[in-house]
Amino acid sequence: MNTAAFCVLLLSAFIHASWNYLSKKAGGGIAFIWLFTAIAAVFYCPLAIGVILYEKPDIGLWEIILIIASILVHLGCFLVLQKGYKIGDLSLVYPIARGTGPLLTCILAVIIFHEKLTLFTFIGILLIMASILFFTGGMKKLKEEGALIPILYGLAVGAIIAAYTILDKAAVSHFLIPPLLLDYCNTIGRLIILTPFAVKNWNDVRAEWNNHRLEAAGVGIFNSLAYILALGVMVFAPVSHVAPIREISILIGTIMGSVLLSEGFGRVRVIAAFLMVLGVISVAAG
């Protein structure tokens, strides 16, 4: 992976952590998801049309199947993530989700794309697992009432992240679907699926617009931008390298949660974040 691609992934990681911070600040919920999705649909529409006219992608049956599968998995990720943020801290749910995601992605990349894993990769996996134990506060923390549920949400989001990363890697590198177009199809699909709920609960949507319109705009623009940048690198780079490097966002997200949102348990989580970053770098080096 060249320096330019690495820098693009670092930028993607920062943008990714930023939209998660905005989402947690807003409080989330399905109405909020619909609102930022609608904003993204409007904002990226001219760019998507430009890609179609300029690149003229060949979209057949298999491409359509991949796009639909990607839409459903991404939507599931948003719904589970928003629920997790309502229950747990950003600096707990976000790092666990983003740490387990690349771990599972690397395993699937070996099975599906026949990518190679080395000793560094296994060391990285152990570091990630150790950092998750730090984030949970150890076995004593796990025994506390209500502590396990946010952790399970984080793990669930991590598994979903691995699923859509593998799907989207196949879409952009093997089936040559343009990254921006793939992400925009996800946006439109999510908008269509959630619109009946939004219409039925329009008062909730109006409340989100009145109270969190800036956060919704930020999430709508940054969420797509972060992933489009990562997909662009994924076109030519192994997914087992791209996924771990993106997880520098773990450190950024943890600092945002601990400092900007004044979430407790900050120092231990920051240490755990550094440990997790070492793990994902080791996976990438492998």
16-29 pLDDT tens trace: 888 878 887 787 67
Of residues 68 and 6, which shows the higher confidence score? Answer: 68
pTM: 0.81
Q: What is the pLDDT of residue 191?
A: 94
Nearest partner of 45 among 223, 235, 180, judged by Cα = 180
The band of 150, judged by pLDDT with boundaries at 50, 70 and 90, is: confident
> Model confidence at 274, in pLDDT bands (50, 70, 90)?
confident
Whether the per-residue pLDDT at 286 is higher than 70: the answer is no
Tell me the average pLDDT across 255-271: 66
Specify the pLDDT at position 242: 84
pLDDT above 70 covers a percentage of the chain that reads 87
Mean pLDDT, to the nearest integer, of 128-154? 69
- Whether residue 8 is predicted with pLDDT greater than 80 in this model: the reply is yes
